[in-house]
Structure 1
Amino acid sequence: MIDIGLSKMALIGAVALIVIGPEKLPRVARTVGTLLGKAQRYVSDVKAEVNRSMELDELRKMKDSVEGAARDVERSIHTSASDFERDWNQTVAGIEATADGGADAGSVAALAAQQGGAIVPAYRHPGKKWRLKRGAVPQWYKARAGVRTHVQSGAARVARFRPRRPR
């Protein structure tokens, strides 16, 4: 902007005092101050508007790049899902064809292994020890830590760990 130092301001004030006069100088100074304030506010508003428009352009570019990445991910998911569905249908059709032809379980498993799939066995109830099998703690840890898996009476436990008499 304009480079105005203290000496130039004093010179302008002296000239204004002589030209305008001491009676009107305060009113003129107030008017000039309000006009300068309005000009500064206008300039700051213009700067803010330019900054907002630049940020808006950046956000639009970022939005476009994110939307493009999302489209790419969606496209890749759709292609992998369709590939999986096609492979699954081929495997099921092959298994049904061999099952209809009177093939044994070994040939069905061989066909599934050839096509990259695995035969999942039918559900079978775990039987008597199902509560024990549901435990998250492995058996080797229970054995090492001394966790009891079978109920035993106190007298039987004492008899089990009683030192034997030599015969």
Structure 2
Amino acid sequence: MFDVGFSELLMVGLVALLVLGPEKLPRAARLAGLWVGKARSVLAVAKAEIKQELAAEEMRQLMQQNIAGEVQKALDDTRSAVDDINFNIQAATETDRNDDKPSSAG
């Protein structure tokens, strides 16, 4: 994230030593470390929550796709069954009509 090298850290340390003095510098360093630790903790929690929400959203989308696919399959199966029933009804009706016709042989 930040490109801070050893020379930059050394310069910040020297400036802090000059500004704060040798008595206050250790306490200031501990306080800075505490705040950095808290900031990292907050960022880690936020990152975990975002990752969890993205995973939940991805699962919702997959479920919706699966549900839509299964509904479409059920609809196709139902249409196929209705078509088969209609075909069988037509075949039975035609058979009945042919049985009711008088035969012209004879």
TM-score by length of 2: 0.72
> Aligned partner of 2:40: which letter?
Q
Alpha-carbon offset, residue 94 of structure 1: 5.6
Runs of 5+ in structure 2 lacking a partner? 101-106
> Aligned partner of 1:85: which letter?
I
C-alpha distance in structure 1 between counterparts of 2:58 and 2:39, whole Å: 29
Alpha-carbon offset, residue 93 of structure 1: 5.3
Determine the structure 2 residue equivalent to 1:40: 40
Q: Count matched residues.
A: 99
Using the TM superposition, name which of 43-52 and 62-71 deviates more: 43-52
C-alpha distance in structure 2 between counterparts of 1:11 and 1:76, whole Å: 73
C-alpha distance in structure 2 between counterparts of 1:47 and 1:4, whole Å: 23
SS of equivalent to 2:22: coil
C-alpha distance in structure 2 between counterparts of 1:78 and 1:11, whole Å: 77
Alpha-carbon offset, residue 28 of structure 1: 1.5
> Would you say 1:5 and 2:21 are equivalent positions?
no
Determine the structure 1 residue equivalent to 2:103: none
Determine the structure 2 residue equivalent to 1:26: 26
Q: Cα RMSD (Å) of the superposition?
A: 2.4
List per-residue Cα deviations over 1:25-77 (Å, max 9, x = no partner). Answer: 22221111111011112222222333333333332222222221111100011
Determine the structure 1 residue equivalent to 2:53: 53
Determine the structure 1 residue equivalent to 2:15: 15
> Aligned partner of 2:52: which letter?
R
Mapping of 1:17-166 within 5 angstroms? 17-92=17-92, 98=99
C-alpha distance in structure 1 between counterparts of 2:83 and 2:10, whole Å: 84
Runs of 5+ in structure 1 lacking a partner? 102-167
C-alpha distance in structure 2 between counterparts of 1:47 and 1:17, whole Å: 35
List per-residue Cα deviations over 1:79-112 (Å, max 9, x = no partner). Answer: 11122223334445566674xx6xxxxxxxxxxx
TM-score by length of 1: 0.49
C-alpha distance in structure 1 between counterparts of 2:93 and 2:2, whole Å: 86
C-alpha distance in structure 2 between counterparts of 1:2 and 1:83, whole Å: 68
